[in-house]
Copies of this chain bind each other. A is one copy, B any other.
Amino acid sequence: MQALFDHISKFSKLTPAAIKSMSAVLQKIEIAKGDFLITEGRVCNHVYFLEQGCVRGFYNHDGKEITYWFAFENNLVMSFYSFSTRKPSVENIQLLEDAVLWAISYDDLQKLYDKHPEIERFGRLMNEHYYMMLEERFVRNHFTDSRTRYENLIAHTPHILQRVSLGYIASYLGMTQETLSRIRSLA
């Protein structure tokens, strides 16, 4: 649990009272590689802090699984859309490694926001942070060919290469596995 509070403190200093309130509703979860954290069609009722492990987010399109993000240690994990809107998730979240997570329910989080402004500030800054990361990724992918997208991955998020198989990475980069393989062989 300490890793979570260390992470939060980088964004917003929590008072002891806020830490106490949050600790009281945190739930430790340990699940195995291959299991699902969230499946499409269900409302995402928890946000998870990933203490150990690695997960992928994917959706089904034309009978194919399209993996479009990965999360690693110290990332927050949820179906953002479903959690925020309370509508059924369109995405699935699956463990790529055995993992240790800490969960907070939607309702508990709203209560924490109401009670502790520092926690709401953390939420605001967290949203800003994730927005900027998504924007950065969007811009790097916009109008760029497959080779450049792969080179951007090597330059900016090389840890993905070390923990995720190429099929998922190709999907993440928006190209087929064959294309990614050829790009690598000609590197």
Collect the chain B residues with CB atoms within 8 Å of residue A68's CB: 138-139, 142
Please report whether the interface of chain A is mostly helix, strand, loop or mixed according to DSSP. helix
Which of B85, B142, B174 contacts A143, CB < 8 Å? B174
Stretch at the interface among A1-9, A31-39, A123-131: A123-131
Q: Are A131 and B174 touching (Cβ within 8 A)?
A: no
Q: Are A84 and B134 touching (Cβ within 8 A)?
A: no
A152 contacts B by Cβ under 8 Å: no
Count the copies: 2
Collect the chain B residues with CB atoms within 8 Å of residue A59's CB: 139
A105 contacts B by Cβ under 8 Å: no
Q: A128-B84, A132-B81 are contacts. A138–B138 as well, Cβ < 8 Å?
A: yes
Complex: how many Å from CA A47 to CA B55?
35
Stretch at the interface among A20-28, A93-101, A113-121, A158-166: A113-121
Chain A interface residues (CB < 8 Å from chain B): 59, 61, 66, 68, 80-81, 84-85, 113, 117, 120-121, 123-124, 127-128, 130-132, 134-139, 141-143, 171, 174
18 more contacts with CB within 8 A, not counting A66-B142, A127-B128, are: A59-B139, A61-B143, A66-B143, A68-B138, A68-B139, A80-B132, A80-B135, A81-B132, A81-B135, A81-B136, A120-B120, A127-B127, A131-B131, A134-B134, A134-B135, A138-B138, A142-B174, A143-B171
